[in-house]
């Protein structure tokens, strides 16, 4: 599994050489220009929201937005200090899901994971480590890899001015707000780890997993099916 957070850390440190190589490799000059314009518009939108501070009765909106701005920098700090913040975010989700499953479902998951990690000693596979290995399986899928790398490249790309940077904060905030509505328990777990403003990096694929598991009549069965499919298509 690629260490997405190592790539994220390089982006945060503004490794211009790496960014240049990536841009040429994927031929995204036009896309980058579009992203910059999109960020600028989002940043301008977020800046106008601060005008609500001048409107009686809208102080809560202003406080929420200021809080999100601070939380964004908390997220960047966590990305820099953690070994793999992307893995952490996915693992946190599965830890929450595993707590709710039955012993029989747990055993089925352990079997599926053991099939994927042929070189992992069986004693390392238990309920305490299950969420970690499930997260690795998810992050190792091709779609997840491509989505995360694309999100990191976009969100940590070159910033032209404060408005463009603020646009990135706006996109991160909107993503976190959607998660708070869709799955408040997961949101607050990320919040307690000071990384909810990084959720936008995995939102594209992670939201599909959340929707899929929550849409079934039995979350446990959906979780088993998801992992078995990922293992089968490795």
66-84: pLDDT as tens digits: 888 889 989 989 998 998 9
What's residue 10's pLDDT? 65
What's residue 45's pLDDT? 60
Residue 184 has pLDDT above 60, yes or no: yes
CA 51 to each of CA 48, 81, 165, 167: distance values in angstroms, whole numbers, following the listed order = 5, 35, 19, 16
42-72: pLDDT as tens digits: 555 666 656 666 666 666 767 787 888 889 9
Pick 106 or 216 by higher pLDDT.
106
Query: Is 73 in a helix, a strand, or coil?
Result: helix
Residue 25 pLDDT grade (very low, low, confident, very high; cuts 50, 70, 90):
very low
Please state, in angstroms and rounded to a whole number, the distance separating the CA atoms of residues 150 and 152.
6
CA neighbor of 1 nearest in space, from 149, 132, 142, 140:
140
Mean pLDDT for 7-34 is 52
Query: Is 91 in a helix, a strand, or coil?
Result: helix
What's residue 212's pLDDT? 87
- Are the CB atoms for 136 and 1 separated by under 8 Å? yes
187-217: pLDDT as tens digits: 999 999 999 999 999 999 999 999 888 887 6
Mean pLDDT for 8-29 is 53
How many separate helices (H) and strands (E) can be counted in the chain? 12, 0
Q: Alpha carbon 165 to chain centroid distance?
A: 19
What's residue 189's pLDDT? 97
Residue 21 has pLDDT above 60, yes or no: no
Kindly state the helix (H) or strand (E) to which residue 112 belongs, with its residue range.
helix 103-116
What's residue 179's pLDDT? 96
Mean pLDDT for 17-39 is 47
What's residue 99's pLDDT? 83
What's residue 192's pLDDT? 97
Highest mean pLDDT among 4-18, 27-41, 206-220: 206-220
Residue 167 has pLDDT above 80, yes or no: no
As a whole-number percent, the residues of the chain with pLDDT over 70 amount to: 67
Residue 109 pLDDT grade (very low, low, confident, very high; cuts 50, 70, 90):
confident
């Amino acid at each position: 599994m690629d260490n997405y957070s190592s790539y994220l850390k390089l982006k945060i440190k503004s490794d211009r050489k790496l960014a240049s190589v990536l841009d040429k490799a994927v031929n995204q000059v036009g896309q980058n220009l579009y992203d910059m314009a999109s960020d600028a518009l989002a940043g301008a939108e977020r800046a106008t929201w601060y005008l609500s501070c001048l409107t009686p009765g809208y102080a809560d909106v202003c406080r929420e937005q200021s809080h999100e701005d601070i939380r964004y920098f908390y997220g960047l700090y966590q990305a820099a200090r953690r070994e793999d913040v992307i893995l952490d975010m996915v693992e946190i989700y599965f830890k929450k899901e595993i707590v709710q499953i039955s012993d029989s479902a747990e055993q089925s998951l352990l079997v599926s994971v053991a099939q994927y990690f042929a070189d992992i000693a069986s004693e390392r596979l238990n309920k305490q480590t299950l969420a970690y290995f499930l997260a690795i399986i998810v992050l190792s899928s091709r779609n997840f890899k491509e989505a995360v790398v694309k999100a990191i490249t976009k969100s940590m790309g070159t910033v032209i001015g404060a408005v463009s940077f603020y646009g990135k904060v706006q996109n991160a905030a909107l993503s976190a707000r959607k998660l708070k509505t869709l799955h408040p328990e997961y949101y607050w777990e990320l919040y307690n780890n000071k990384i909810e403003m990084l959720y936008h990096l995995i939102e594209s694929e992670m939201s599909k997993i959340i929707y899929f598991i929550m849409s079934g009549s039995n979350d446990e069965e959906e979780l088993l099916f998801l992992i078995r499919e990922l293992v089968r298509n490795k």
